[in-house]
Structure 1
Amino acid sequence: MSARPLVLVVSPGDETYRGYCLEQVAAAYDVVLLTGTEPSWEKPFIIDHAVADLSDPAALLAAGRALAERHDLAGVVTWDEWHLVPTARLARTLSLPSPSVEVMRACRNKATARPLFARHGVPSAASMKARTLLEAGLATMTLGLPAVIKPAAFAGSIGVIRVDEPEDLPAAFAFASAGASRSREDTGVLVEEYLDGPEVSVECVTHRGVTTAVAVTRKHLGPAPYFDETGHTVDAADPLLPQVAPVAAAAVKAVGITDGVQHVELRLVDGRPRLIEVNARIGGDMIGHLVRLATGIDLPRAAADLACGRAPDLTPTRSAAAGIRMLYPDASGTLTARHVNQPFAAHTPWLRQVQWIRGIGDQLVLPPEGDLFTARAGFYIVTGRTTAEVTERLDLAADEITVTTRADR
């Protein structure tokens, strides 16, 4: 028998974007897995598993209970946006540490979170729910243009679009409604005040009601009117951290989180932070990996520690910077070529990873017809001493990596 504590991981995600999370948790814990498909890449990191239809709350709960009967679980954790609510329900059913189901629902639903921010004095975007195009039009008359139309409860910037002129509203409302229709929790649409300024996220860890902001992620977006995230940089010495940390901590407190890892998104409007949303999980797009490369802080390990009622170690062990850039085609079409200059890659130690996620012959579809799941061909990660050096290196590497598509007729 292992002397290590045992944690249940719900929905580990795909190996490309979330493999590092499971690997880092397994370095400190014995792991049992609750997943929707038979494990493959996960096998070296787990001691047992159960397969269930994770879209069925009752099936997820039953499978989790079955694992708890076989093992003495110390905690339950997920970093999957879509399973935050059922994971909280499972943990509470098993009498294990967890935020409440209501708190997780507030994080999942922006329409629920906005009044909480206002009640607690957290500066965020003005927001109105719109069930119809007419209501969306009335909302823009109240909030003004430009405005943002978005699903109330989805993720990945899917269905999020900026509206600059009244004549653009019908198409924008249809675009947001299509994204909202994919939600399992709320198919509603929100019209929100457009926050004009650079976008960042604050990577937070909360233990017993005290939130520590461990890093700031500077976000890079694709062309308007969409909000696709095309890259991120993390710098352990980012001077912005002291400015945004108090607002991020206040937002976490407003939604009622007392323990866990949070990815808090905001914009700087006239230099002042304004809240977009609180995500009760590790940030996507390899952000947790960037945080470790830049600071040495292990967010997946912290998430597991907190799920097991333990205090996480948030001591930085390095001070550096790291960045990721997504690989998009210039135009939608069939992927005909993907190329990395191998001599360059072999002799460039700061190019830490080049990862393809689409193969030759696959269709790449950019917005508005596509989204991040259909548009990206891959990504690459670099490290450096500062944000400026990382940005320079991201640009240098871009010249050595190509993605070619053929337009479909």
Structure 2
Amino acid sequence: MSAQPRRPVLAVVGGTDPAYRGYCLEAAAVDHRLVLIDSTAPRGLVNDLVEDHELADVQDAEAVVKAGLALAERHEIAGVLTWNEYSLVPAAALAERLGLPGNTVASMRACRDKGTTRRLLADADVPSAACERVDSLKAAAHAAARIGYPVVLKPASHAASIGVIRVDRPDDLPGAWQFTSSGARHQGTEGSGVLVEEYLDGPEVSVECVSRAGETVAVAVTRKELGFAPYFEEVGHTITADDPLLPVVAPVARQALRALGVSDGVQHVELRLTDSGPRIIEVNARIGGDFIGRLVHLATGLNLPAIASALATDRSPDLATTRQGSAAVRILHPSTSGTLLERRLPAHTVGVGGGELREVGWLRSVGEMINLPPEGDLHEARIGYLITTAPTLTGAEAARLAAEEAIVVRVRPGGPTA
């Protein structure tokens, strides 16, 4: 009886948050032996899934390369992968150093610095937004006047909508500048300053893409729901197999990836559906955040982390859909900031319109302080999530609404008491 071939070794850089990325690690571990580069030692589920690890600042390319070379002395690494936005450039640098498949460092820098993204998209005539990089309130005022209100202020190389705000009129600009410039202090090193951008009006979506050697297939459309205006906190997502929007937005997503030089892996391309057609917000060269990858799997059967792992180790993934349904997630927020006193879902089954409640998860514990925007970012504002599925989008949304209405949340305004 012949021995089974050993699974290839995949080096994962960062992205080990169990709530948002645990499913990615689990999927990658099915067909790969995992080694990890992270800023903290693996624990719990992560420790169970990885064979070896090295500690490093996962936003520092030099540190990640050094850690990866140490792992390469102990393992025959076949691929490098990250789903952490801030680790895209370091992961590309490590893959390049090891001679492994992947995107170039230059293309990852182009995605990470949103100012560079806008310039390259404009050069390639990809529909995007007018944009200027500024370093002072005075410069921001001049840029906003040239672009025309409303505008959006955002750090050049942050993620998760940190520091992003819409500004409707000149009188609102000083407060907005303080909010964004404060967020920009902790942004990634790939970009600098604050961007003043044209506000793109219309529904927001993302296109989930799979690329190999420059050939891109758009596999799903995520319809996004935003809250807490003038901030851009994402509060819900829905995905339907064979969404009729897919052929409308896919060509623009492919054009954007080509313009930025993104050739391999899984990408999350964000757009607004404006009166003049789809226009690019930004390009993320990794699996979409929150629970988007899980929704893609529930609606279509496509396993994005497994696909990304195969591509990283130079194998062709199977892109055949095995499901035809819809999936939805609601990110749960309280109605006010304060101390979380109670969060629970009654034990009775929730299901409406043929939908099914697949999962309820909690992100914050009783007794913790919850801060809604603008004081709190997504980590401080969210208390949990719920995921529903159904054969149709209407059913998935109905089940989501029923579950949301059944959830009990109590918050005491103000901070914890002794």
Pairing 1:161–2:165 present:
yes
| CA–CA distance in structure 2, aligned partners of residues 119 and 170 of structure 1 | 31
Pairing 1:44–2:48 present:
yes
3-state SS of paired residue (2:349): helix
Pairing 1:302–2:311 present:
no
Pairing 1:395–2:395 present:
no
1:231 to 230, 236, 244: 236
| CA–CA distance in structure 2, aligned partners of residues 191 and 317 of structure 1 | 43
| CA–CA distance in structure 1, aligned partners of residues 177 and 109 of structure 2 | 24
Pairing 1:13–2:16 present:
yes
Question: What runs of 5+ residues in structure 1 fail to find an aligned partner?
Answer: none
Shift in Å, 1:345: 5.3
With structure 2 as the length reference, what TM-score do the two structures score? 0.95
RMSD over aligned Cα atoms: 1.6
- Judge conservation of contact 1:177–1:187 (CA < 8 Å) in 2: no
- Judge conservation of contact 2:204–2:270 (CA < 8 Å) in 1: yes
Task: Summarize deviations over 1:232-251 as a string: whole Å, max 9, x none.
Answer: 00000211001000000000
Corresponding position of 2:274: 269
Which amino acid in the other structure matches residue 27 of structure 1?
A: V
Corresponding position of 2:89: 85
3-state SS of paired residue (2:249): helix
Shift in Å, 1:51: 2.4
Shift in Å, 1:202: 0.2
- Judge conservation of contact 1:366–1:375 (CA < 8 Å) in 2: yes
Corresponding position of 1:24: 27
With structure 1 as the length reference, what TM-score do the two structures score? 0.97
| CA–CA distance in structure 2, aligned partners of residues 197 and 56 of structure 1 | 37
| CA–CA distance in structure 2, aligned partners of residues 211 and 57 of structure 1 | 27
For the structure 1 residues 266 and 349, does the alpha-carbon distance in structure 2 shift closer, same or farther, using more than 3 Å as the test? closer
| CA–CA distance in structure 2, aligned partners of residues 45 and 69 of structure 1 | 20
Corresponding position of 1:366: 372
| CA–CA distance in structure 2, aligned partners of residues 50 and 346 of structure 1 | 45
Which amino acid in the other structure matches residue 188 of structure 2?
A: R
Pairing 1:66–2:70 present:
yes
Shift in Å, 1:117: 0.5
1:98 to 91, 97, 102: 102
Shift in Å, 1:91: 0.8
| CA–CA distance in structure 1, aligned partners of residues 242 and 389 of structure 2 | 14
Bigger mean CA deviation after superposition, 292-301 or 395-404: 395-404
| CA–CA distance in structure 1, aligned partners of residues 260 and 283 of structure 2 | 8
| CA–CA distance in structure 2, aligned partners of residues 2 and 312 of structure 1 | 19
| CA–CA distance in structure 2, aligned partners of residues 363 and 319 of structure 1 | 40
| CA–CA distance in structure 1, aligned partners of residues 141 and 400 of structure 2 | 41
- Judge conservation of contact 1:151–1:189 (CA < 8 Å) in 2: yes
Which amino acid in the other structure matches residue 93 of structure 1?
A: R
| CA–CA distance in structure 1, aligned partners of residues 300 and 18 of structure 2 | 23
- Judge conservation of contact 1:327–1:403 (CA < 8 Å) in 2: no
- Judge conservation of contact 2:227–2:233 (CA < 8 Å) in 1: yes
Task: Summarize deviations over 1:177-220 as a string: whole Å, max 9, x none.
Answer: 11111113134101111111000000000111111000000000
1:139 to 117, 136, 143: 143
Which amino acid in the other structure matches residue 278 of structure 2?
A: P
2:156 to 147, 152, 169: 152
- Judge conservation of contact 2:61–2:93 (CA < 8 Å) in 1: no
Q: Identity rate of aligned residues, in percent? A: 52
Task: Summarize deviations over 1:158-183 as a string: whole Å, max 9, x none.
Answer: 11111111100000111111111111
Which amino acid in the other structure matches residue 191 of structure 1?
A: V
Q: Please show how residues 264-343 of structure 1 align to structure 2 within 5 Å.
A: 264-270=269-275, 272-343=277-348
Shift in Å, 1:272: 1.3
| CA–CA distance in structure 2, aligned partners of residues 64 and 164 of structure 1 | 46
Corresponding position of 1:240: 245
Pairing 1:344–2:349 present:
yes
3-state SS of paired residue (1:399): helix
Pairing 1:118–2:116 present:
no
- Judge conservation of contact 1:149–1:191 (CA < 8 Å) in 2: yes
